Structure 1
Amino acid sequence: MTDEILADQVGYYRRRAGEYDATAYGDVAAARERIARLVARMRPSGRVLEIACGTGLWTEALVGVADTVVAIDAAPEAVAIARDRVRSGSVTFEVADVFSWTTDDRFDVIFFSAWLSHVPMSRFDQFWQLLRRLLAEDGRVLFIDEPVNVRAKEAYVPDADEIVERRLQDGRKFRIVKNFVDPQALRDRLRDMGWDCQIHRDGSDWIQGEARPRS
């Protein structure tokens, strides 16, 4: 079931790519300002890996502060928009599924926005083990996501705590994983896995997190 849902999730974001900015952010100019402010606060630097880069709004801000950015996403339609948006020699885009992606590179920062909540609980440990392998010494993970208190906005599938039904503008329906972030529960789980994690709120709808593996 997990593989089936993840395939549907990729299909959803492939087909949503053209409408994503308007439906996810509404006012894109205001979103850019907020994104720029958050990226400046998080201070990503050096070699940065961006997971689930989507249409490149966050990539656009990352390239302004990082030495290099590798940005990956499983939806080629979204990557095409991101490539057109971010024309910088310091960024490399790849169409890739993070669960099967491999590289010999190590990164000073791994960043993802609105991605952690799409990781199935059955793959949570695997995902964070992957992040640890990809981090350079003294590296850190930075993330933005949605807190659990906005969970009511989604239409959850009956008897499936982490699967929601989403509808595109043309009416097509898809099932995706959506695990809103409970900050304390996430800190506790990561602590048990050997990570130190700090989480702060940004407004009522986003949380900002930073995690470092303990030596």
Structure 2
Amino acid sequence: MSEDVLADQVGYYRRRAGEYDATAYGDVTAARERIARLVARMRPAGRVLEIACGTGLWTEALAAHAATLLAIDAAPETIAIARDRVPATVAFEVADVFAWSTAERFDVVFFSAWLSHVPDSHFARFWDQLRGLLAEDGRVLFLDEHVDEQAKEAWVGDEIVERTLQDGRTFRIVKQFIDPGTLVERLRGLGWDCRIERDGTDWILGEARPLPGH
């Protein structure tokens, strides 16, 4: 995976910040209701880290359950939007997810629509990074798009799609829709126990824990 594509991916989300909610969710009020329902179903609690928080719709729901919440994203433009959605007690940090580290440990690490942007070349290292972020008995919770949704993208490579903003600018980003069975087996090979459920035709919900001895 070219680092140029990963840089383009960050640039895309920085420039999409102002139009993201409308173009990603359409009816934001309905999306908020669905997000609140799903977050309650996933039961985040304690010290929570959100990776790739975006414009904060999920951060808003997580804040209602977490004892403490730290949200990170590579795009300062999306974090600026997210800050206005949540209590002042939520902490934010602009950071490259793949290069970020902290001495803090979390009961829950959460990410929405992020795993599908992790290239194969970074996959194993990313899950090693997650293991190091978890407290004892910690969990990784995630949401993403089911593989059935892949036809909607303009594919230009095995894991690369081209996206166009409302102003006509185009960007290449990583996109890997989730096949639940394949992901469960892949994570088991890396020392994780993962359970995945489907919500509607488009989204999957996952929970992963390190296997004993890993």
Q: State which of 159, 163, 166 in structure 1 corresponds to 2:163.
A: 166
* Structure 1 length-normalised TM: 0.97
Q: SS of the counterpart of 2:99?
A: coil
For 2:102, the aligned partner's letter is T
**Are residue 214 (structure 1) and residue 181 (structure 2) matched?**
no
Distance 1:102 1:134 in 2: 8
For 1:63, the aligned partner's letter is A
Distance 2:183 2:88 in 1: 35
% identical equivalent positions: 75
Question: Which residue number in structure 2 is paired with residue 3 of structure 1?
Answer: 3
Distance 1:25 1:209 in 2: 20
Post-superposition shift, 1:84? 1.5
Distance 1:97 1:68 in 2: 21
- Structure 1: gaps spanning 5 or more residues: none
Question: Which residue number in structure 1 is paired with residue 56 of structure 2?
Answer: 56
For 1:178, the aligned partner's letter is K
For 2:12, the aligned partner's letter is Y
**Are residue 181 (structure 1) and residue 149 (structure 2) matched?**
no
Q: SS of the counterpart of 2:123?
A: helix
Post-superposition shift, 1:85? 1.6
Q: Which of structure 1's runs of 4+ aligned residues deviate more than 3 A?
A: none
Question: Which residue number in structure 2 is paired with residue 118 of structure 1?
Answer: 117
Question: Which residue number in structure 2 is paired with residue 145 of structure 1?
Answer: 144
Indicate conservation of the 8 Å contact 1:2/1:120, yes or no: no
Distance 1:161 1:205 in 2: 21
* Structure 2 length-normalised TM: 0.98
- Structure 2: gaps spanning 5 or more residues: none
Distance 2:151 2:61 in 1: 30
Q: SS of the counterpart of 2:97?
A: coil
Distance 2:7 2:73 in 1: 13
Indicate conservation of the 8 Å contact 1:63/1:88, yes or no: no
* Superposed CA RMSD: 0.6
Distance 1:88 1:152 in 2: 40
For 1:52-83, what per-residue CA distance to the aligned partner results, in whole angstroms no more than 9, with x for missing partners? 00000000000100100100000000000001
Distance 1:33 1:191 in 2: 33
Post-superposition shift, 1:23? 0.3
For 2:210, the aligned partner's letter is P
Aligned residue pair count? 212
Post-superposition shift, 1:46? 0.2
Distance 1:155 1:111 in 2: 28
